[in-house]
Chains A and B, each alone.
Chain A
């Protein structure tokens, strides 16, 4: 189907506006993080790096960052191991109907509104005294991250030829060796992107976290949420800028390593 120049130009103009809407608004936090006043006025009148200094010298921000990194890494490990095992199990299950139902259950946390799950988890954690604990955060975030791992590993499993496992087994490999040395390397792109998704899911999670935090343990998004609702402290802009750099770096490294693997 050919499109006239007019149609194309109109589409382009429109898409440019949409693209700007998607990307540009968030960018304002970067210049704002270098403001010299304790206000969120934009554009800033003068420039300084004092909010970065404040971020790194304020123990509450540093602790929140440390908690977020700890929880995020643990969630990446738990969700990736559980999710990969589950995806491999679903693929092997002879009863396809049961496998379909089980998969739907494992993916259900995506469609349930976080706020509804949050009040249930809050009540449960009150009973179990898990509020404001690292294990509590890791468990609650892992269940939200699990679906992403199952989806991305299942997607790469579709392209996996089961006869390769059979070949390894018939040559005398143990089940574990066949998985570790044959199947896992081939589905690695899905595992890696699942792990990245899991980390980012935990690192960005706010709704559940504001329920299960305590005055002694909060994560970075919780601290940012509190900061926005309470005062006009541009430290949050400095934190936001660094988080964006960090996530961009993680994703770029992830994508590059996947591409290199594909080429090799």
Chain B
């Protein structure tokens, strides 16, 4: 690091760029290049290259051709796994939103201290290892676990709460909830609450003011939180592997089974490519949506200014 930085400032260099110019503020090309080089090399070697290898293997194993793609689109099982994954990710997102919305709203309307408390409570799971949280759910959800014992007191159960999609949903919702709360809170905190006051003072009922004024203004938070949760849920592995079942596999479990279990690199890689493309398409759609939203806002602002 020292060497990198100093090598870009040879003794022949002038005693410092002219203050105030753009070049002076931003520095010269070489410094920037050398500063970015290590990180870029790491990303290329440990991220871009491996992804290319996986993509290549989807065409090249066991032999060159598109047979793996044909296998994927032929089998009802494969499409079924993909659809189940999308469905589970969708349910996770909806449940997270239902839990997070009132929580984030309460954060916005409460005082400083309570807000901090609610924020810390969201951050705690962030710092707790995924492995530990999933293990805790196994203890709670097993047939003779605490949840089933509790239900037993009311004469219910024991219900099969894990080794199925229910278990996967419970675990994923808890793990991904913070990723919904934080963007929601950010968006809601930026909403000018006086707008709702204005609406009620003009005769709107509080519920109308909330639905017609607050909800639309907080919508960007809903979108970014949902995107964050949905994308992560699509690729989740540990929670489905430990709380789910091999008969109700998600794509990630399927990839693991193909590559690690059956050494079917080609098929595993096709599944990986499908998963990756799904995620990228979603991100592109969200980016386009965001741009369109901004443009619409800009147009409205311009109209109002005119």
Q: Which residues of A contact B (CB under 8 A)?
A: 1, 3, 11-12, 14-15, 18-19, 21-23, 25-29, 32, 40-43, 78, 81-83, 85-86, 88-90, 92-94, 102, 105-106, 108-109, 111-117, 119-124, 139-140, 142-143, 146, 150, 162-163, 166, 169-170, 172, 174-176, 179, 200, 203-204, 206-207, 211, 221, 224-225, 228-229, 236-237, 240, 243-244, 247-248, 251
Q: Is B153 an interface residue (CB 8 A)?
A: no
Residues of B within 8 A of A225 (CB): 131, 238, 242
Task: For residue B215, give the distance in angstroms from its CB to the closest CB of chain A.
Answer: 13
Chain A residues positioned under 8 Å from B155 (CB to CB): none
Q: Once the chains are docked, how many angstroms separate the CA of A22 from the CA of B136? A: 12
A141: nearest residue on chain B (CB-CB)? B46
A42/B140 contact (C-beta < 8 A), A15-B106, A225-B238 known: yes
Flag if A19 contacts B121 (CB, 8 Å).
Answer: yes
Min CB distance, A233 to chain B, in Å?
11
Main secondary structure of the interface of A (DSSP, over half): helix
Q: Is the CB of B193 within 8 A of A1?
A: yes
A251 to B9, CA, bound (A): 37
Give complex CA distance A105, B36 in Å.
12
Q: Is the CB of B135 within 8 A of A119?
A: no
Supply 20 A–B pairs (Cβ within 8 Å), ascending by A.
Answer: A1-B209, A22-B122, A26-B132, A26-B133, A78-B42, A86-B35, A102-B36, A111-B231, A111-B283, A116-B51, A116-B255, A116-B272, A116-B275, A119-B268, A139-B42, A169-B15, A200-B127, A224-B135, A228-B242, A237-B135
Name the residue on A nearest B27 (C-beta): A92
Chain A, Cβ-Cβ closest to B52: A120
Q: How far is the CB of A185 from chain B (nearest CB, A)?
A: 16
B157 located at the interface, meaning its Cβ lies under 8 Å from any Cβ of chain A in the complex: no
Whether the Cβ atoms of A176 and B19 lie closer than 8 Å is no
Distance in angstroms between the alpha carbons of A82 and B134 in the assembled complex: 32
| Contact flag A106-B43 (CB < 8 Å), given A22-B122, A170-B19 | yes
Name, among B6, B35, B118, B235, the residue most crowded by chain A CB atoms within 10 Å (CB to CB). Answer: B35
The answer to whether B42 and A82 have CB atoms under 8 Å apart is yes
Complex partner residue of A169 from B17, B26, B124, CB under 8 angstroms? B17
Cβ of B219 within 8 Å of any chain A Cβ, yes or no, is no
B interface majority secondary structure: helix
Where the two chains meet, the residues of B that have a C-beta atom closer than 8 Å to any C-beta of A are 1-2, 4-6, 8-9, 15-17, 19, 22-27, 29, 31-36, 38-40, 42-43, 45-47, 49-54, 57, 99-100, 102-103, 105-106, 109, 118, 121-122, 124-125, 127-140, 142, 144-146, 174, 177-178, 193, 196-197, 200, 206, 209, 231, 234-235, 237-238, 241-242, 252, 255-256, 259-260, 265, 268-269, 272-273, 275-276, 279, 283
Contact present for A119 and B235 (CB under 8 Å): no
Closest CB in chain B relative to A223 CB, distance in Å: 10
Across the interface, which residues of B come within 8 angstroms of A108, CB to CB? 43, 47
* Distance from B11 Cβ to chain A, minimum over Cβ atoms (Å): 10
Among B17, B50, B52, the one with the most A-chain Cβ atoms within 10 Å of its Cβ is: B50
Interface contact B276-A116, CB-CB below 8 Å? yes
A22 contacts B102, CB within 8 Å?
A: no
Which chain B residue lies CB-closest to A173?
A: B16
Instruction: Report whether B200 and A247 are in contact in the complex, using a CB–CB cutoff of 8 Å.
Output: no
Whether B9 contacts A175 by the Cβ 8 Å rule is: yes
4 more A-B residue pairs beyond the given contacts A94-B26, A206-B130, A207-B238, with a C-beta to C-beta distance below 8 A: A25-B137, A40-B139, A92-B26, A204-B129
| Complex Cα spacing A225 to B136, Å | 12
Give chain A residues whose Cβ lies under 8 Å from the Cβ of B136: 25-29, 240
